[in-house]
Amino acid sequence: MRLSGNGVVATREAFLEWLSRGRTFVTETVARRFRLPFPSVPTPKAVLLPQHEALYRFFWARRTWNVHPLPPEGTPILLLAAPCEVKAVTDVLDAVFLGNAPQDPYYATRRKNLILGALGCTFFEATCFCTRVGGHPLSREGADFFALPLSSGVYFEGEGVSGRPLASSEKEELEALVADLEKTAPPPFPEKTPEYLYEAFGCDIWEDIAWGCLNCGACTFLCPTCFCFDLALEGRLRGAMIRTWDSCMFPKFTLHASSHNPRSHPMQRVRQRILHKFSYHPLRKGVFGCVGCGRCVALCPVNWDIREAVERVVSCAL
Amino acid sequence: MTLHDAARKLLEEHKVQGVLGYRKGSLPFRTRPYLFRDPCEIEELVFNPFCGLNLARYLLFLPQGIERVAIVAKGCDGRACVALVRENRLRRENLLILGVPCPGMVDTRKLAEWEGLKEHEVTLRGGEIVIRGVAYPLASFLDASCRRCRYRSPLVYDILVEGGEVPSLPQEDTLRELRSLPEEKRWEFFRKELSRCIRCYACRNACPMCYCKECFAESHKPSFLHPSPTLRDNFVFHIGRAMHLAGRCVECGACERACPLGIPIATLFLAVSDTVREHFAFEAGVDVAAPAPFVTYREDDPNAFIR
Ligand code: SF4
Ligand code: SF4
Ligand code: SF4
Ligand code: SF4
Ligand code: SF4
ipTM: 0.93
pLDDT at B114: 86
Q: Quick one: which atom of ligand 1 is closest to the CA of A215? A: 5
The rounded Å distance from CA B273 to ligand 3 centre is 20
Contacts of A76 (CB under 8 A, 6+ apart): A22, A23, A113, A114, A115
User: Cα–Cα distance between B174 and B33 in angstroms, integer?
Assistant: 28
- β-pair type (A64-69, A8-10): unpaired
Any domain includes B304 = no
With CB atoms and an 8 Å threshold, state whether B202 touches A218.
yes
CA A169 to chain CA centroid, Å, is 34
Bigger pLDDT: B171 vs A115: A115
Domain ranges of chain A: 8-317
Any domain includes B43 = yes
Nearest ligand to the CA of A223 is 2
pLDDT at B231: 96
CB nearest B202 (choices: A212, A216, A308):
A216
Any domain includes B259 = yes
Indicate whether A213 pLDDT > 50.
yes
Regarding the beta carbon of A304 and ligand 1, being less than 6 Å apart is answered yes
User: Cα–Cα distance between B226 and B277 in angstroms, integer?
Assistant: 33
User: Cα–Cα distance between A144 and A147 in angstroms, integer?
Assistant: 10
Chain B partners within 8 Å of A266 (Cβ): 61
Bigger pLDDT: B220 vs A242: A242
Regarding the beta carbon of B249 and ligand 5, being less than 6 Å apart is answered no
Regarding the beta carbon of B247 and ligand 4, being less than 6 Å apart is answered no
Q: Quick one: which atom of ligand 5 is closest to the CA of B217? A: 4
Q: Which of B34, B16, B14, B36 is nearest to B24 (CA)?
A: B34
CA distance B263 to chain A (A): 13
Q: Average pLDDT of A184-200?
A: 95
CA distance A216 to chain B (A): 5
- Strand ranges (DSSP E) for chain A? 8-10, 24-27, 40-41, 53-61, 64-69, 77-81, 114-119, 145-150, 153-157, 229-234, 238-245
Q: Whose CA is nearest to atom 2 of ligand 4?
A: B255
Q: Average pLDDT of A219-231?
A: 97
pLDDT at B77: 96
CA distance A219 to chain B (A): 9
pLDDT at B220: 84
Any domain includes B307 = no
CA distance B147 to chain A (A): 21
Q: Nearest chain A Cα to B117, which residue?
A: A126
**Residue B45 near residue B22, CB atoms below 8 Å:** yes
pLDDT at B190: 96
- Quote the domain boundaries for residue B155: 3-295
With CB atoms and an 8 Å threshold, state whether B260 touches A301.
yes
Regarding the beta carbon of B216 and ligand 5, being less than 6 Å apart is answered yes
Residues β-bridged to residue A68: A57
The rounded Å distance from CA B246 to ligand 4 centre is 10
Number of domains in chain B: 1
The rounded Å distance from CA A273 to ligand 4 centre is 27
User: Cα–Cα distance between A13 and A36 in angstroms, integer?
Assistant: 11
CA distance B31 to chain A (A): 7
CB nearest B32 (choices: A217, A244, A303):
A303
The rounded Å distance from CA B141 to ligand 3 centre is 22
CB nearest B32 (choices: A212, A242, A298):
A212
CB nearest B260 (choices: A211, A218, A242):
A218
User: Cα–Cα distance between B98 and A242 in angstroms, integer?
Assistant: 48
Name the range with the highest mean pLDDT among A68-82, A163-177, B70-84, B127-141: B70-84
Mutation probe of ligand 5 site: the residue of B244, B265, B268, B272 with most atoms within 8 A of C-beta: B244
Regarding the beta carbon of B60 and ligand 5, being less than 6 Å apart is answered no
Chain A partners within 8 Å of B218 (Cβ): 250-252
Q: What are phi and psi of B265, to 5 degrees?
A: -75, -25
Indicate whether A84 pLDDT > 50.
yes
Regarding the beta carbon of B204 and ligand 5, being less than 6 Å apart is answered yes
Any domain includes B139 = yes
Nearest ligand to the CA of A269 is 1
CB nearest B201 (choices: A211, A216, A242):
A216
Chain A partners within 8 Å of B260 (Cβ): 218, 222, 299-301
Indicate whether A2 pLDDT > 80.
no
Which residues of B make CB contacts under 8 Å with A?
A: 25-28, 30-35, 53, 57-58, 61, 63, 198-202, 204-206, 218, 220, 226-230, 257-260
With CB atoms and an 8 Å threshold, state whether A217 touches B198.
yes
Indicate whether A311 pLDDT > 70.
yes
Q: Whose CA is nearest to atom 4 of ligand 1?
A: A219
Indicate whether A237 pLDDT > 50.
yes
Q: Average pLDDT of A43-61?
A: 96
Out of A30-39, A165-174, B165-174, B193-202, which region has the weakest mean confidence (pLDDT)? B165-174
Q: Quick one: which atom of ligand 4 is closest to the CA of B145? A: 3
pLDDT at B307: 67
Write down the mean pLDDT value for chain A. 94
CB nearest A301 (choices: B61, B202, B229):
B202
CA distance A162 to chain B (A): 33
Regarding the beta carbon of B199 and ligand 5, being less than 6 Å apart is answered no
Q: Average pLDDT of A110-135?
A: 95
The rounded Å distance from CA A127 to ligand 2 centre is 10
Cα torsion through A33, A36, A37, A41, rounded to 10? -50
Q: What are phi and psi of B20, to 5 degrees?
A: -80, 120
Q: Average pLDDT of A229-258?
A: 94
- β-pair type (A40-41, A24-27): parallel
How much is the pTM? 0.94
With CB atoms and an 8 Å threshold, state whether A307 touches B26.
yes
Indicate whether A1 pLDDT > 50.
no
CA distance B227 to chain A (A): 7
The rounded Å distance from CA B111 to ligand 2 centre is 23
One digit per residue, the tens of pLDDT, for chain B of length 307 reads: 899 999 999 999 999 999 999 999 999 999 999 999 999 999 999 999 999 999 999 999 999 889 999 999 999 999 999 999 999 999 999 999 999 998 899 998 888 888 888 888 998 887 789 999 999 988 889 999 999 998 988 899 999 998 666 667 778 888 999 999 999 999 999 999 999 999 999 999 999 999 999 999 999 888 899 999 999 999 999 999 999 999 999 999 999 999 999 999 999 999 999 999 988 889 999 988 888 888 888 888 777 777 6
**Residue A303 near residue B25, CB atoms below 8 Å:** yes
Single-letter amino acid code for the residue at A172 = E
User: Cα–Cα distance between B114 and A20 in angstroms, integer?
Assistant: 30
Q: Whose CA is nearest to atom 7 of ligand 2?
A: A290
Residue B155, CA distances (Å) to A141, A260, B84, B98 in order: 58, 43, 14, 11
pLDDT at A299: 96
**Residue B271 near residue B98, CB atoms below 8 Å:** no
